[in-house]
Amino acid sequence: MSSQRAVQRFPGTVGVIGLGAMGAPMTHNLLRGAPPGTRVLVHGRTPARLAPLVDAGAHLAATPRILAEACDVVLVMLPDLPQLEALLAGEDGLVAGVSEPTILVVGSSVSPGELRTLASRVAKETEGLLRLVDAPVSGGVEGAGAGTLSIMVGGADDDVRVVTPVLATMGTPVHLGPLGSGEVAKACNQLIVAATMTAIAEAAVIAERAGLDVDALLTLLRGGYAGSRVLETKQRAVVTRDYTPSGAARFMVKDLAAAHEEAARTNTRTRQLDLLRELFDDVVAAGLGDDDLAVVHRYVAEAPVAEAPAAQDPAASRAQVDNR
């Protein structure tokens, strides 16, 4: 498919399902950024909650099937593959509504391998009419609202050309390779985010117990090598201990599992990833999984500390070295 045809497809009809903290602002940006003549359909389990999108110009679809019947491109922003599977299945499901070539853009963070398996299955069920592109995002609720998301895209070249103008209304899409590449990229992203958040949490607890002004310290660190987007957006949560979720910590468990899956597939040793998986399993087991990712700070602060070994006399240490 030529890039010219891709541009011509954009003014068709785009559907969005999964209109929560991320999906709703992304759809508002789609409505603002789409060329004249583009119809945007939305579907949700609670239609009343979609009123702001309807007021902004979107059209309600009563079922996923009705949405799929009308759309060239469908974007889903759901927590994981089980929710997507439920959306696809049944007489009112999305697959039942596919009678023309349709591209399903999976913005969820899911297992790359399981996504490829799903793509193969739905291709058979629809005789190749439903094709998948993966496009997980990073940037949080703030980036979704501002339209500045980093969008990690995987899929066939022709399919990605069709959906890129749609995704460009929401942020910066980058095509990284075949189907599943976006999910691998998101897993790598989450590994870095989890490691950074954990380091911030541990540093904050150490500093507080040492008598430092944690807010002043973190502000200072933001201007140096320790600065990061994670530190910028999570500083307030750490300082105020307000862990109201913009993204639940429990989702990190599946994201790190996806990173582990790819590490195993590519024969990569990942000592830090292994530690982070254990940590976030413990965070969820402690009942903190529904709080914001920054709740790692609370977990670190409240975790029991093993008794430290008795300090050894420096002279004795030197003597041990000399006698080796």
206 closest CA partner among 122, 297, 272, 316: 297
Q: What number is the average pLDDT over the span 218-235?
A: 97
What pLDDT, in 10s, does the model give residues 128-156?
999 999 999 999 899 999 999 999 999 99
279 closest CA partner among 303, 305, 309: 303
Q: What number is the average pLDDT over the span 87-116?
A: 95
Q: Is 254 a catalytic residue?
A: no
Clarify whether residues 229 and 148 are in a common domain. no
Q: What number is the average pLDDT over the span 298-320?
A: 67
Clarify whether residues 156 and 203 are in a common domain. no
Give the residue from 178, 199, 221 where a domain finishes.
178
pLDDT score of 322? 53
**Domain extent for 48:** 3-178
What pLDDT, in 10s, does the model give residues 24-67?
999 999 999 999 889 999 999 888 889 999 999 999 999 999 99
The reply to whether 311 falls in a domain is: no
pLDDT score of 310? 54
What does the DSSP assignment read for 3-67?
A: HHHHHHHTTSEEEEE--STTHHHHHHHHHHHSPTT-EEEEE-S-GGGGHHHHHTT-EE-SSHHHH
- For the cut 80, the answer to whether the pLDDT of residue 316 exceeds it is no
User: What phi, psi does 240 have (nearest 5°)?
Assistant: -90, -10
The reply to whether 309 falls in a domain is: no
pLDDT score of 253? 97
Give the residue from 156, 178, 200 where a domain finishes.
178
The reply to whether 253 falls in a domain is: yes
Clarify whether residues 173 and 188 are in a common domain. no
Please tell me which residue, 165 or 11, carries the higher pLDDT value.
Answer: 165
pLDDT score of 313? 59
The reply to whether 314 falls in a domain is: no
Clarify whether residues 200 and 87 are in a common domain. no
Clarify whether residues 136 and 87 are in a common domain. yes
The reply to whether 165 falls in a domain is: yes
198 closest CA partner among 238, 140, 251: 238
What pLDDT, in 10s, does the model give residues 264-283?
999 999 999 999 999 999 99
At 30, which CATH number? 3.40.50.720
- For the cut 50, the answer to whether the pLDDT of residue 5 exceeds it is no
Clarify whether residues 134 and 224 are in a common domain. no
The reply to whether 323 falls in a domain is: no
Clarify whether residues 205 and 156 are in a common domain. no
> Out of 42-46, 122-126, 177-181, 279-283, which region has the weakest mean confidence (pLDDT)?
42-46
Clarify whether residues 157 and 209 are in a common domain. no
Q: Count of domains in the chain?
A: 2
Clarify whether residues 208 and 142 are in a common domain. no
Q: Between helices 112-125 and 81-88, what is the axis angle to 10°?
A: 10
Q: How far apart are CA 162 and CA 166, in angstroms?
A: 8
Catalytic residue among 124, 186, 234, 254: 186
Burial of 51: CB neighbours in 10 Å, binned 0-12, 13-18, 19+: exposed
The reply to whether 144 falls in a domain is: yes
Q: Confidence class of residue 75 from pLDDT cuts 50, 70 and 90?
A: very high
Give the residue from 131, 146, 178 where a domain finishes.
178
At 189, which CATH number? 1.10.1040.10
Give percent of the chain above pLDDT 90. Answer: 85
The pTM is what? 0.87
Clarify whether residues 71 and 133 are in a common domain. yes
Clarify whether residues 170 and 212 are in a common domain. no
The reply to whether 319 falls in a domain is: no
Clarify whether residues 169 and 216 are in a common domain. no
